[in-house]
Amino acid sequence: MIGRAHRLPVSRQVKLVGISRSSAYYVPSPVKAADLALMRRIDPLHLEHAFTGARMLMRLLKREGIVVGRRHIGTLV
């Protein structure tokens, strides 16, 4: 969408698209492998028990031997 090699400057391109200039330079950080594994385990639990929140997911994971905080679970969900 925003091209640095384009003849228009980046500041003009973002103005035309309607986004902030800082978002044109943002590079997302990669997701850690441990977090990906945890998300893969949380997904089936959350689908099986759709009513669960972060606290209940934390307890279900703790029964399986995975110790993680509820705030981290809330971030991943």
Question: What pLDDT, in 10s, does the model give residues 35-62?
Answer: 999 999 999 998 998 888 999 999 999 9
* 12 & 40 share domain: no
Q: What pLDDT was estimated at residue 39?
A: 94
How many domains does the chain fold into? 2
* 7 & 25 share domain: yes
Q: What pLDDT was estimated at residue 73?
A: 93
pTM: predicted TM-score of the whole model, two decimal places: 0.65
* 75 & 39 share domain: yes
* 49 & 71 share domain: yes
Where residue 34 falls (left for φ over 0; alpha for ψ -120 to 50; beta otherwise) is alpha
Structural domain harbouring 25: 1-29
* 40 & 76 share domain: yes
Cβ–Cβ under 8 Å, residues 30 and 23: no
